[in-house]
Structure formats: C-alpha cells, structure tokens
C-alpha cells in the first residue's frame, strides 16, 4: 500500500510525526516523500528495511514539516511527514489521505559557551533569550540559575529555524504554555527575529551551535550527532536533563 504521511503534534515540547496515506496501488512502485526533518532518521531506516524486503524504493527528503504538507497538497510526493497537522488557514489536500502516528521524541536545548559544561535554564529564561529580552550570558536571571558556572559577559546568539517547522511549533507551544506573552500557539518561523543565526532543517542545528561561539538552539534530540552541550530544564523545584524532553507546565 502506498502511504502518504502527514503528522500531528504531541504535548507542548515533544515532537511527534503522523502519517497520512493515499489510496493503495496494486503494482510495486517507487515511493517518494518529504517533510519533517525530525522524522528523517527513523524514516530512512524504515525505508532501507522496506526496500530490502519488497524491492520498492522509498526516497524521503527532509525539507521541513511545512514544505512536506505543501508537497502533499501539490501531489508531488506520495507521502509527507509533519510534526503538526494542517492549520485552519492552510491549503489542504483535495485527495483522500489517512493519518497515522509514527514517532515521538524530545527536543534538546543545545549550547556552546566557552568554559561552561553544564547549563541550567527554565521556561522564562529560554523565552527571554528567544524574545530578545535576555541578551548576555551573565544576565542576572541566568546567573541565578547557574551559581556554580562562570557565565561570560558575552552576547548570546540564538539559533533558530528559518523555515516552517514542526519542531519550532512544538518549541513555541512549550513557551506559550509555560511563559505566555508573545509566543504564538501556531506553526511558523521566527517572524521578527532580528538577531542570531538560522538554519533550514533540524539536522543542521546542532552543528551550527557547535561552530558558533556563545550560541544556543533547539534541536530534535535524535539529530544531536556532534559534541555539544545540552541544557537541563527546571521543572517545579528540580532540573531535568533535556534527554527526557522539554516539560509542560508543572501543575502539581
């Protein structure tokens, strides 16, 4: 069966991918897909195993969730993967599709600060860094969370996704739930971001942070394939290493 993938979102800060499928085809065919960069590693491994068993070739391009949803509408791919569903104002496929959950995973806050191995953050300081109200690593709010670290008097370079990204949406929804204010509960790029650096897909994020001094970014944990610092996030009174995923608001 030929399947088209489109994905939905898990709770606030966890990326999730869903599949959407088009009608079945009797003959064996090559299958093409695009979309979520978060889903790429998983889909690529599945494609290799599927081709070995069936002879069908599956080609998947990590173009970002928004681009995948558009490609499915344009019928230029057989399936698309996305970390979020179609928005209310977004063009939707006119052909029948089927949605199915595929994979979920954590978003990591990765950083590159000379001399700093461990970094503690909370939702408010993460939000301040990305809305531009916290611009220095030795900002008093960051120092208060990192009493054992020697944070430098250096300008922070936030790294963000420049394209329509499901990882961005999940990250923004985490901030929207935990911080509020300017954070949109919608899938979009960083409109109005005036400082920092940008990348187009998740797999480039960790490398960009690693090669950019005093930077910080958000990246799907499965794409952290270079040596780079990972922050711990405060939840309630405790700090949780990001390998467990960004946490939603503590309701205890």
Q: CA 246, 64, 104, 251: dihedral to nearest 10 degrees? A: 30
Helix (H) or strand (E) holding 41, with range, is: helix 40-54
pTM over 0.75: no
Burial class (CB in 10 A: 0-12, 13-18, 19+), 81: buried
Q: What's the pLDDT score for residue 36?
A: 83
- Summarised one tens digit per residue, pLDDT across range 141-187 is 999 999 999 999 999 999 988 777 777 878 888 888 888 777 765 44
- The span from the CA of 52 to the CA of 49, in Å, is 5
Question: Quick check: 200 pLDDT over 60?
Answer: yes
Give the pLDDT score at 184.
62
Residue 249: pLDDT over 90: no
**How confident is the model at residue 74, as a pLDDT?**
92
Answer with the residue of higher pLDDT: 25 or 157.
157
Q: What is the DSSP letter of 150?
A: -
> Which domains are delineated in the chain?
14-105 (3.40.190.10), 107-244 (3.40.190.10)
For the chain, give the mean pLDDT: 77
pLDDT score of 108 = 87
pLDDT at res. 226: 78
């Amino acid at each position: 069966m030929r399947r088209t993938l489109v994905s939905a979102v898990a709770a606030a800060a966890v990326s999730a991918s869903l599949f959407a499928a088009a009608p079945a085809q009797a003959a064996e065919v090559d299958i093409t897909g695009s979309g979520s960069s978060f889903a790429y590693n998983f889909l690529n491994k599945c494609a290799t195993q599927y081709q070995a068993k069936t002879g069908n070739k599956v080609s998947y391009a990590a173009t970002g969730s928004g681009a995948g949803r558009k490609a499915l509408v344009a019928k230029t791919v057989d399936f698309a993967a996305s970390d979020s569903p179609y928005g209310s104002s977004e063009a939707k496929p006119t052909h029948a599709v089927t949605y199915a959950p595929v994979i979920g995973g954590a978003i990591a806050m990765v950083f590159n600060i000379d001399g700093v191995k461990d970094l503690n953050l909370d939702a408010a300081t993460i939000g301040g860094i990305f809305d531009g109200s916290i611009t220095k690593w030795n900002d008093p709010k960051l120092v208060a969370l990192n009493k054992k670290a020697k944070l430098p008097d250096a300008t922070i370079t936030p790294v963000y996704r420049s394209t329509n990204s499901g990882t961005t949406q999940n990250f923004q929804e985490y901030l929207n739930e935990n911080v509020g204010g300017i954070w949109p509960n919608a899938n979009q790029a960083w409109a109005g971001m005036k400082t920092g650096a940008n990348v187009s897909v998740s797999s480039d994020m960790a490398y960009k942070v690693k090669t950019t001094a005093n930077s910080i970014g958000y990246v799907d944990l499965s794409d952290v394939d270079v040596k780079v610092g990972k922050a711990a996030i405060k939840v309630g009174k405790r700090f949780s290493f990001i390998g467990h995923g960004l946490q939603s608001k503590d309701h205890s």
